[in-house]
Structure 1
Amino acid sequence: MVSNSNCSIDDSFKYNLYGVVYTVAFVLGLVTNCASLFVFCCRMKMRNETTLFMTNLALSDLIFVFTLPFKIYYNVRRHWPFGDGLCKISGGAFITNIYGSMLFLTCISVDRFLAIVYPFRSRSIRTRRNAGIVCVLIWMLILGGGITTCFEGFSQKTWKTYLSKITIFIEVVGFLIPLLINLACSSMVLRTLRRPATLCQIGTNKERVLRMIVVHLAIFIVCFVPYNSVLFVYAMVRTQAVDSCWLEVLARTLYPITLCIATLNCCFDPVVYYFTSESFKKSLTTGKSQAKQENTLRSEGPVSSKDNTNTELVETNTSVMSSNGKELITETQF
């Protein structure tokens, strides 16, 4: 029971809710992300920039999953016996996972956008070296932003001083900007696929790209948009920037629910791997990457028509006209 002046709020339901959702997330997240990392590290012999982003995404999910048993114990027993240090690590792992997932998903979206919309001009940008640099920068950002105190029982003074500023920063950098980038990249890819030349030549590969966009945006919007929207309102009422009892009741009621939905992203991310990488799908189902996948995995994007001898090895590659309408390219498995 939380009471703020004349506003009385009972949010004790969240403990049972957290206990159930964290248990489900731990079991599913542990299995799916361990399997994903096993495929990335042991089954896929050739790795490109997209695979590197997905590997870091799976690692971020797995780090968070390992902290869930401690959270489960706390919400069941209402007692934290593991010390303040582990409590801060557990809270920081959640921040790292949520915003790390959004940033790595955004990198995958941008990489797909460059491969489809600017296939030739992006070849010098879409390299493993550049992808590695981006991954390091993301980890530095999310680890720095993930420094937190134990649990969410922050005082009003804490919210008004530095916590509100941190919330605004992570909302803008970790959520709003990635959301806009994802929407912009997806819309430009869809616009490219609607061109008459593309419609005639992309064939079944177009369906794969469309499924990939739908799954990607669905996970992003379902898991992250509700939580971050409610978090913004939650911060406003906690700092008393908005003095409204019904809004505070609404925010404190919706916050645990949207947080649980955001937590489940660690179970849904492997769906992105399955629809994004044909090589991941083959490695997962057959236990090995065949030579024809290995020959196309380097870029998982368009290659020049001059390489026709190599593109014969690709089962589902179809031709796509480049933006100048003159050069014929081949779209490989994204």
Structure 2
Amino acid sequence: MGNHSNNLTCLTDDSFKYNLYGAVYSVVFILGLITNCASLFVFLFRMKMRSETAIFMTNLAVSDLLFVFTLPFKIFYNFNRHWPFGDTLCKISGTAFLTNIYGSMLFLTCISVDRFLAIVYPFRSRTIRTRRNSAIVCAGVWILVLSGGISASLFSTTNVSNTSTTCFEGFSKRIWKTYLSKITIFIEVVGFIIPLLLNLTCSSLVLRTLRKPATLSQIGTNKEKVLKMIIVHVAIFVVCFVPYNSILFLYALVRSQAIANCSLERFARTMYPITLCIATLNCCFDPFIYYFTSESFQKSFNIKTQIKMDSLFKTEMPLTKTALPAPQDETSDQAITNGGDPTSESHF
């Protein structure tokens, strides 16, 4: 029999996904709620100066929390295999998931680009790296991801059967062929491929800048801290998002029958739930980005840091030249007085 015939009679059992989703979502809900609520509290109430990167991180924490708040409904659904919460909440739940996945990738990309500008072009990027521009970029990201999430969730209607009601699954081949395959391609290109290339490019250019002798003589041991930031950032992006989006593309092809192959369909249906669960773990990992990126975030938890990041990100000299010795009455941190208590805030 040909591949097309095989696809018509291909029997796949992916029922394991329900217990897997329920277990993983339970862990993500507990850890994600605690870590992101704590992070958002720090950004809004403990940090006395909000830098450009802090604005991106605040929006990233909000994106994570919006998804986390929908998880109790998903947990109930997957353990009971029944959605009693209505069609509207089903659409909201689907939108929150897509907004979190692709919003997280785009906000992480914004942080990566901001780090690239701060290190490689410290002078020329001063007029670009402003809080106003950061807020405009964040607004653009929200408009983009909400538009994509709402568009895809228009098809996440509940399907009622004699025994149960399903949500965000069971789409027909016709819907996959006519709508969902096109939406998937769009969000894959805009929300995954472009951000991935930007992250890898910015990280490689930062690493190349750090290898220059003049740079090393200026930042000293700060190189270690920047390397940790890059490793954590790229690791979260690659581990959480690359497997999911790669399988999603294949999954869309087999569901729309652009590829009619039973073995590939079984593989895609088996791997899709696994990679999706890994992708949702980004909610728990994002606080590591905050820790390694913001010195003030560390200090808000009374964590002593031995390395002053401001000497790297708020230096008055480009990293490609040797910095002049600081005057006696100045420090590498910029003092910000709020209510008489001075504190330092890393510009990055």
TM-score of the two chains, using structure 1 as the length reference? 0.88
Map 1:23-38 onto structure 2 (within 5 A).
23-38=26-41
1:113–1:189 Cα contact (<8 Å) kept: yes
Judged with a 3 Å threshold, the aligned counterparts in structure 2 of structure 1 residues 9 and 103 are, in CA distance, closer, same or farther, namely same
Deviation (angstroms), 1:62: 0.3
How does 1:174-193 map onto structure 2 within 5 Å?
174-193=191-210
1:211-254 residue CA offsets vs partner (Å, 9 max, x unmatched): 00000000000000000000000000011111111000000000
Residues 223-234 of structure 1 mapped to structure 2, 5 A cutoff: 223-234=240-251
Distance verdict in 2 for CA 1:8–1:231, change over 3 Å: same
The secondary structure found in structure 1 opposite 2:302 is helix
Aligned pair partner of 1:11 in 10, 14, 19: 14
For 1:243 and 1:32, how far apart are their aligned partners in 2?
43
Q: Aligned in 2, Cα 1:157/1:272: closer, same or farther, shift over 3 Å? A: same
Which amino acid is 2:332 matched to? V
2:135 pairs with 132, 135, 138, which one? 132
Aligned to 2:290: 273
Q: Which of 151, 166, 169 is 2:186 aligned to? A: 169
- Cα 1:310–1:273 shift into 2, 3 Å: farther
Rate the CA distance shift 1:227–1:310 in 2: closer, same or farther, 3 A.
farther
Which structure 2 residue ranges, 5 or more long, are not aligned?
A: 1-5, 158-167, 318-322, 335-345
Q: CA deviation at 1:5?
A: 1.8
Q: 1:194 to 1:80 in 2, by over 3 A?
A: same
Q: Helix, strand or coil: the match of 1:27?
A: helix
Indicate if the aligned counterparts of 2:118 and 2:125 stay in contact, CA closer than 8 A.
Answer: yes
Q: 5 Å matches for 1:140-155? A: 140-147=143-150, 148=153, 149-150=156-157, 151-155=168-172
Q: Percent identity?
A: 71
Deviation at 1:202, TM superposition (A): 1.8
Alpha-carbon shift at residue 152 of structure 1 (Å): 2.4
Inter-partner Cα distance in structure 2 for 1:311 and 1:89: 55
User: Which residue number corresponds to residue 321 of structure 1?
Assistant: none
> C-alpha separation between the residues in 1 aligned to 2:279 and 2:42?
25
What is the distance in 1 between the residues matched to 2:330 and 2:7? 69
| Cα distance, 1:153 vs structure 2 | 1.6
Task: Give the aligned partner of residue 226 of structure 2.
Answer: 209
Tell me, yes or no, if structure 1 residue 86 matches structure 2 residue 99: no
Q: Which residue of 2 aligns with 1:324?
A: none
> Following TM superposition, by how much is the alpha carbon of 1:301 offset from its aligned partner in structure 2, in angstroms?
3.6
Match of 2:273 in 1: 256
- TM-superposed CA distance for 1:198, in Å, is 1.4
1:284 aligns with: 301
Task: Give 3-state SS (helix, strand or coil) of 1:9's partner.
Answer: coil
Q: Give CA deviations for 1:68-127 in whole Å, capped at 9, x if unaligned.
A: 000000001111010000000001100000000000000000000000000000000000
Which of 55, 58, 74 aligns to 1:55? It is 58
**Counterpart of 1:193 in structure 2: which amino acid?**
L
- In the alignment, the residues of structure 1 paired with residue 149 and residue 332 of structure 2 have an alpha-carbon distance, to the nearest angstrom, of 42
* C-alpha displacement of 1:171: 0.1
Of residues 303, 313, 321, the one that matches 2:331 is 313
Q: What SS class does the counterpart of residue 183 from structure 1 fall into?
A: helix
- Work out the CA distance in 2 between the residues paired with 1:309 and 1:104: 37
Q: Quote the offset at 1:204 in angstroms.
A: 1.0
Question: Structure 2: how far apart are the matches of 1:232 and 1:313?
Answer: 51
Match of 1:77 in 2: 80
Please state whether the residue corresponding to 2:133 is helix, strand or coil: helix
Q: Counterparts of 1:42 and 1:117 in 2: how far apart (Å)?
A: 31
Q: Kindly tell me: are residues 22 and 310 of structure 1, through their superposed partners in 2, closer, same or farther at Cα, counting changes over 3 Å? A: farther
Q: 2: CA distance between counterparts of 1:175 and 1:311?
A: 47
Corresponding residue for 1:327? none
3-state SS in 2 of match to 1:106: helix
Q: CA shift at 1:333, angstroms?
A: 6.8
CA 1:5–1:114 in structure 2 vs 1: closer, same or farther (change >3 Å)? same
How many residues are paired up? Answer: 311
Distance 2:313 2:132 in 1: 16
Q: Is the 8 A contact 1:278 1:333 kept in 2?
A: no
Partner of 1:42: 45
User: Quick one: structure 1 residues 117 and 79, their matched pair in 2 at CA, closer, same or farther if it must change by over 3 Å?
Assistant: same
Distance apart, 1:300 and its partner CA: 4.2
Question: What's the Cα RMSD here?
Answer: 2.4
**Secondary structure of 1:303 counterpart:** coil
Q: Given residue 302 of structure 1, which amino acid in structure 2 is its aligned partner?
A: T
- 1:118 and 1:186 mapped to 2: Cα distance? 14
1:242 alignment counterpart: 259
Distance 2:328 2:117 in 1: 22
Report the counterpart of residue 22 of structure 1 in structure 2.
25
Q: How far apart in 2 are the matches of 1:248 and 1:309?
A: 66
What code does the residue aligned with 2:331 have? L
Paired position in structure 1 for 2:103: 100
Give the aligned partner of residue 199 of structure 1: 216
Q: Which runs of 5+ in 1 are unaligned?
A: 288-292, 317-331
The residue type equivalent to 1:313 in the other structure is: T
Per-residue deviation, 1:197: 1.3
